[in-house]
Amino acid sequence: MSKTAILEIDGKKYEFPVIKGTENEEAIDIKTLRSVTGGVTTIDPGYKNTGSCESAITFLNGEEGVLRYRGYAIEDLAEKADFLEVAYLLIFGELPSQQELNKFHEDIKQHSHVDEDVKKILDGFPKSAHPMGVLSSLTSALVAFNPSSVNVDSEEDMYNAMVRILAKFPVLTAWAYRKRTGQPLDYGDDSLGYVDNFLKMMFKKPHGEYKSNKVVVDALDKLLILHADHEQNCSTSTVRMVGSSHAGLFASLSAGINALWGPLHGGANQAVIEMLENIKEDGGDTHKFMQKAKDKNDPFRLMGFGHRVYKNFDPRARIIKKSADDVLSALGVEDPVLNIAKGLEKEALEDSYFVDRKLYPNVDFYSGIIYRAMGIPVEMFTAMFALGRLPGWIAQWREMRLRKEPIGRPRQVYIGETHREFKPIEKR
């Protein structure tokens, strides 16, 4: 006997089914609410209590700090898989065989060329342009160069659009970096692995050899896996919302990039390093900044702390914190802000303000320390998040389209003026 929920309004009772997911999450299905009640809806700013869809891609349990992609634990994937393997898993639902993975990578390599005219758009940006603004613009512009990626009515069209953007996005990301540093753009080397090739496009000096650094390749591969998907976060919900109007994949991704840019979301990894640098410049007094974070009159927040869903340790933060020490020592990098970060974390985990609100370090708290040790500048941190999140966005967009989800169109509660007569200007 399936469970139901009863809602009573003005003495009248309404019954709604309660659905249960494979991880025993329960949700009240209110699809008929407005029609059976004659217009009553719900309101839930920030959708803290509202599910937008059923999804089979990522499961997270915020209370227990659990994160799984298609049923596989993030700890296992970060340790045993590589980023392209995880991208395949997220998109198609199964870990690929070696043959499937090789074909996936080959299909991606076929499209690693970015039309030369895209460079003219890039040239139009000032060097100071933030990489996220460049990336969202160039991703949207790619539609003009790949018109077949818009109407993806068949799985074949969808596959072609997906491998195109998986091929071109790393190129655009590296180009956004080289634009800022005034370097000539690099076209990559198809003989390299996906992540290694990205690093080559980022760091190969115009007149020098590119030497792969296995520590950096492995560390970045792991970071990209950890960022690859995270169920219905702000940017993923944006990609699904835009895609629900049947806008193309590239246009939907461009919207997601802009949502991720915000400092409360993916932009936090840049904000964390800027915060840690400020604390260092200010003399390293973490306690002073802890007080600021707790002061309601002070807009300062402890960036990299807190999470809408995790009310326990973000499992990704735990993995990244551990690899931060390994990567920095392997690269022989001493970064004073790492100790400041650890000091802040220790103090926060013992402070009732943070403990009572279940504020723990999230994925962004330590990631920037590793990116910086790899030589990636802070303005590129959120672009790295986007590079990691790309397969998750694609997987979620594909699921939404294959499930033929309806166009997203929330309701509202109107609180403005009721009807009033027009007043001619001479009478105002």
Minimum CB distance to ligand SDX, residue 386 (Å): 11
Quick check: 393 binds ligand SDX (CB under 6 A)?
no
Minimum CB distance to ligand SDX, residue 319 (Å): 13
Tokens coding 231: 């169920």
Q: What is the 3 state secondary structure string of the chain?
A: CCCEEEEEECCEEEEEEEEECCCCCEEECCCCHHHHHCCCCCCCHHHCCCCCCCCCCEEEECCCCEEEECCEEHHHHHHHCCHHHHHHHHHHCCCCCHHHHHHHHHHHHCCCCCCHHHHHHHHCCCCCCCHHHHHHHHHHHHHHHCHHHCCCCCHHHHHHHHHHHHHHHHHHHHHHHHHHCCCCCCCCCCCCCHHHHHHHHHHCCCCCCCCCCHHHHHHHHHHHHHCCCCCCCHHHHHHHHHHCCCCCHHHHHHHHHHHHHCCCCCCHHHHHHHHHHHHHHCCCCHHHHHHHHHCCCCCCCCCCECCCCCCCCCHHHHHHHHHHHHHHHHCCCCCHHHHHHHHHHHHHHCCHHHHHCCCCECCHHHHHHHHHHCCCCHHHHHHHHHHHHHHHHHHHHHHHHHCCCCCCCCCCCCCCCCCCCCCCHHHC
Name which of 152 and 293 has its Cβ closer to ligand SDX. 293
Minimum CB distance to ligand SDX, residue 405 (Å): 20
Minimum CB distance to ligand SDX, residue 175 (Å): 25
Quick check: 179 binds ligand SDX (CB under 6 A)?
no
Interaction residues for ligand SDX, span 339-358 (CB under 6 A): 357
Minimum CB distance to ligand SDX, residue 387 (Å): 13
**19 by DSSP, 3-state: which?**
strand
Name which of 303 and 328 has its Cβ closer to ligand SDX. 303
Name which of 36 and 355 has its Cβ closer to ligand SDX. 355
Minimum CB distance to ligand SDX, residue 359 (Å): 5
Quick check: 387 binds ligand SDX (CB under 6 A)?
no
Q: Examine the residue annotation and report whether 111 is marked as an active-site residue of this protein.
A: no
Stretch that binds ligand SDX, among 101-109, 119-127, 263-271, 395-403 (CB under 6 A): 263-271
Q: Which of 273, 276, 290, 363 binds ligand SDX (CB under 6 A)?
A: 363
Site string for ligand SDX, 275-304 (x = CB under 6 A): ------------------x-------xxxx
Q: What's phi and psi for 12, nearest 5 deg?
A: -105, 135
Site string for ligand SDX, 20-59 (x = CB under 6 A): --------------------------x-------------
Cα–Cα distances in angstroms (integers) from residue 149 to residues 88, 133, 140, 254, 392, in the given order: 19, 22, 11, 14, 18
Q: Examine the residue annotation and report whether 307 is marked as an active-site residue of this protein.
A: yes
Stretch that binds ligand SDX, among 149-157, 191-199, 359-367, 406-414 (CB under 6 A): 359-367
Q: Which of 68, 180, 222, 230 binds ligand SDX (CB under 6 A)?
A: 230
Which one from 307, 326, 335, 356 is the annotated catalytic residue? 307
Total residues at interface with ligand SDX (CB under 6 A): 22
Q: Which of 308, 311, 318, 342 binds ligand SDX (CB under 6 A)?
A: 308
Quick check: 248 binds ligand SDX (CB under 6 A)?
no
Quick check: 264 binds ligand SDX (CB under 6 A)?
yes
Stretch that binds ligand SDX, among 16-24, 125-133, 150-158, 260-268 (CB under 6 A): 260-268
Query: Which residues are the active-site residues?
Result: 307, 364
Residues near ligand SDX (CB under 6 A) = 46, 230, 233, 264-266, 268, 293, 301-309, 357, 359, 362-364
